[in-house]
Structure 1
Amino acid sequence: MSESCLFCAIVAGDVPSARVAEDETTYAFMDINPATTGHLLVVPKRHSTDLLEIGPDDLTAVTLAAQRIAGVAKAELGADGVNLLNCCGAAAWQTVFHFHLHVIPRYASDTLTPPWLPDQGGDADAIRATGARLAAAVGWSSSER
């Protein structure tokens, strides 16, 4: 637990929350600034700052809990879909620095829009070059198939 972390305080019961689910590794609670009806967060009980810091066991537990809760939210709330969202770093919209997944039920009638829209495609050469660079960095010899 981090003494200055809001989500650690929520997990500890020091800050009130509308709990949805809890097990020995994860805690799920309603978002106080919901994007849609049913928007909630799933966090590991053990503090990790973000996606790059969280351990594999906690990441797996949070992801599986989010999957389970997403299915329940879709069925129970009559959602037409669900977004799972993780923001890693301030530039990626992270505002609370404790790893979390947003489970956002989506409805055909909601007004949320994605932060970008697919279009006709990007620069194919630049995409291939970036892919090759990343493939080499993760130890793969080629990003082409």
Structure 2
Amino acid sequence: MSEAYDNDNVFAKILRGEIPSHKLYEDDHTFAFMDIMPRGDGHCLVIPKSPARNILDAEPVVLAHVSATVQKLSRAVMAAFSADGVTIQQFNEPAGGQIVFHLHVHIIPRFDGIKLRPHTGDMEDQDVLAANAEKIRQALTA
């Protein structure tokens, strides 16, 4: 099975406030923020606040909370960007494409005829992330 949870992964550090993020939503169980290397405008992430390496070791109740927040954020990004659809991605273990070993779900607004940008490792401009985050936060309160 998977390795032990690493309390020093980047998302654990974001949860502890050690690394800044563009926060979109937070409740008792989950945290949502902008992906700093987006594959599309409005690309964001949902993570549980509890330590879980990935879907393989997460408690079912954690997955339920994450799923509810994913749905809430999916609706918000669709509205915020007038998207035609939404892609939800979740990767587990290196062979499955996982890079950060804290359970996380990608939410990417999609538009007819526009492909996802490649994952290059290049960070988006912080002003662009801030503007996109504000659009999503506004849609969450609408």
Question: So what's the TM-score if we normalise by structure 1?
Answer: 0.74
Q: Contact conserved, 1:36 with 1:110, CA < 8 A, in 2?
A: no
On the 8 A contact 2:6/2:101 being kept in 1, the answer is no
1:51 equivalent to 2:71? Answer no
Q: How big is the shift at 1:110? A: 2.0
2:67 aligned residue: 63
Higher relative contact order (Cα pairs below 8 Å, separated by 6+ residues)? 2
Check conservation: 1:11, 1:45, Cα contact below 8 A: yes
- Corresponding letter in the other structure for 1:5: N
For residues 87-143 of structure 1, the C-alpha deviation after alignment (integer angstroms, 9 at most, x for no partner) is 011111100000011011111142229xxxxxxxxxxxxxxxxxxxxxxxxxxxxxx
Tell me how far apart the structure 1 counterparts of residues 93 and 7 of structure 2 sit (CA, whole Å).
Answer: 20
For residues 23-102 of structure 1, what are the structure 2 equivalents within 5 Å?
Answer: 23-102=27-106
Paired residues for 1:17-28 under 5 Å: 17-28=21-32
Could you list the runs of 4 or more consecutive aligned residues of structure 1 that deviate by over 3 angstroms after TM superposition? none
Q: Report SS of the residue matched to 2:33.
A: strand
Alpha-carbon distance in 2 for matches of 1:87, 1:66? 15
User: Based on CA coordinates, which of the two structures has the bigger radius of gyration?
Assistant: 1
CA RMSD of aligned residues (A): 1.5
1:83 partner SS: strand
Unaligned runs of 5+ in 2: 118-142
Quote how far apart the aligned CAs of 1:2 are: 4.4
Structure 1 stretch displaced more, 100-109 or 59-68: 100-109
Aligned-partner Cα distance in 1 for 2:104–2:24: 14
Identity of aligned residues (%): 36
Unaligned runs of 5+ in 1: 114-145
Secondary structure, counterpart of 2:103 in structure 1:
coil
